């Protein structure tokens, strides 16, 4: 019951301090959220100078208070609440499962973009997701329309840019507590579409240009994508998880040859890695090599996926028999 939850007090010397935006959320809203996560059922928010809270601050408090009752009052304060800086808040939005390229290149760039966007009122994670979808359309247009090495290079650069910007909407959502299964599913759907459009664009481009077996190699990679990703999505949905790419991810260091091969496949099949490698190899004039490497890694990934689905199905069936 709410009455059994511990009360909590939050103090700000001035309303201006309570209204201060920290990574897109009012300081008072962040303080309320912290008390709620600590288990408070009643929160007294005291403003030392008796000033009024801004409408945006009140909206943040209402959104982040959960089931707690928040009472705003005026009166003397002993010590004003202190919150982390906007940059420190954004820096904490990284993910433990980030790949090698994401940790060293993508995440430092995307977090700076996130920090800038969160200073703009009204900007939401979905706006970035929509922008990424538009960027994907521009990317595939560059692969098909202009043709030649320039169109291919620009398409590769835009694909890597989409990989970098893919982190922004998630960072914004985590920094402002706007994460949701629907948002995660939309973000993953845009990522899937971007990956497919890029792979299809490169394959068609090279098949028309070279007229040899490269079209079949890319076609096999496309088959793996249109077959493997729906299988993975079906498995995630059956497990009650949102659409994503974490089904095959493992943590920890490789402990043997099999683990080492898996770690290599997991690293190279991560979007951050292959988007970066595609861009570099295309700019270097090795676009055929990039597609061949990707197809080989994708084939190994597909084998691991089928094995994982088979083992999970076996455990699930054993669980049903045990329950019966």
Closest CA to 43 of 28, 25, 23, 21: 28
Instruction: Quote the pLDDT of residue 2.
Output: 43
The C-alpha atoms of residue 158 and residue 275 are separated, in whole angstroms, by 9
Q: Positive or negative CA dihedral for 290, 302, 183, 108?
A: negative
The C-alpha atoms of residue 115 and residue 227 are separated, in whole angstroms, by 37
Q: What is the DSSP letter of 2?
A: G
191: left (phi over 0), alpha (psi -120 to 50) or beta: alpha
pLDDT in tens, 271-311: 888 899 999 999 999 999 999 999 998 898 888 878 777 77
pLDDT in tens, 166-191: 999 999 999 999 988 888 889 888 99
Instruction: Quote the pLDDT of residue 320.
Output: 42
Q: Which CATH superfamily is domain 88-323 in?
A: CDP-alcohol phosphotransferase transmembrane (TM) domain (1.20.120.1760)
Closest CA to 277 of 266, 149, 269: 269
pLDDT over threshold 70, residue 252: no
The set of residues, in sequence order, having a beta carbon less than 8 Å from that of 259 and lying 6+ positions away, is: none
Where are the CATH 1.20.120.1760 domain residues in the chain?
A: 88-323
Residues paired with residue 21 on neighbouring β-strands, in sequence order:
26
Closest CA to 268 of 87, 99, 73, 59: 99
Closest CA to 18 of 64, 76, 60: 60
Instruction: Quote the pLDDT of residue 298.
Output: 87
Closest CA to 270 of 193, 195, 199, 173: 195
Q: Positive or negative CA dihedral for 286, 288, 290, 296?
A: negative
User: What are the two backbone dihedrals, phi and then psi, of residue 8, each rounded to the nearest 5 degrees?
Assistant: -140, 155
pLDDT in tens, 62-100: 999 998 999 999 988 888 888 889 999 999 998 877 778
The C-alpha atoms of residue 48 and residue 73 are separated, in whole angstroms, by 9
Closest CA to 63 of 178, 174, 175: 178
pLDDT over threshold 70, residue 153: yes
pLDDT in tens, 227-244: 987 777 676 666 555 445
The C-alpha atoms of residue 253 and residue 260 are separated, in whole angstroms, by 8
């Amino acid at each position: 019951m709410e009455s059994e939850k511990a009360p909590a007090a939050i103090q700000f010397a001035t309303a201006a301090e309570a209204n201060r935006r920290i990574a897109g959320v009012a300081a008072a809203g962040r303080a309320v959220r912290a008390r709620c996560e600590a288990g408070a059922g009643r929160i007294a928010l005291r403003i030392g100078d008796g000033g009024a809270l801004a409408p945006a601050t009140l909206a943040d408090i209402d959104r982040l208070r959960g089931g707690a009752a928040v009472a705003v009052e005026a009166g003397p304060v002993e010590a004003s609440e202190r919150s982390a800086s906007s940059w420190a808040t954004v820096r904490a939005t990284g993910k433990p499962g980030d790949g090698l390229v994401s940790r060293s290149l993508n995440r430092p760039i995307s977090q700076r973009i996130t920090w800038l966007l969160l200073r703009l009122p009204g900007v939401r994670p979905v706006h970035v997701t929509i922008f990424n979808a538009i960027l994907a359309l521009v990317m595939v247009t560059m692969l098909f329309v202009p043709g030649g090495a320039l169109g291919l290079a620009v398409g590769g650069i835009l694909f890597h840019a989409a990989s970098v910007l893919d982190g922004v909407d998630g960072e914004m959502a985590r920094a402002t507590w706007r994460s949701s299964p629907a948002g995660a599913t939309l973000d993953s759907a845009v990522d899937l579409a971007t990956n497919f459009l890029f792979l299809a664009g490169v394959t068609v481009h090279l098949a028309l240009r070279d007229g040899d077996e490269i079209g079949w190699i890319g076609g096999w990679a496309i088959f793996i994508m249109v077959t493997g990703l729906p299988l993975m999505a079906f498995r995630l949905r059956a497990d009650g998880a949102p659409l994503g790419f974490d089904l095959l991810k493992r943590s920890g260091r490789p402990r043997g040859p099999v683990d080492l091969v898996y770690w290599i496949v997991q690293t190279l099949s991560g979007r951050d890695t292959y988007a970066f490698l595609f861009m570099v190899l295309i700019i270097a004039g090795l676009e055929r090599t990039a597609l061949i490497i990707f197809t080989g890694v994708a084939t190994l990934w597909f084998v691991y996926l089928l094995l994982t689905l088979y083992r999970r199905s076996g455990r699930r069936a054993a669980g049903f028999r045990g329950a019966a």
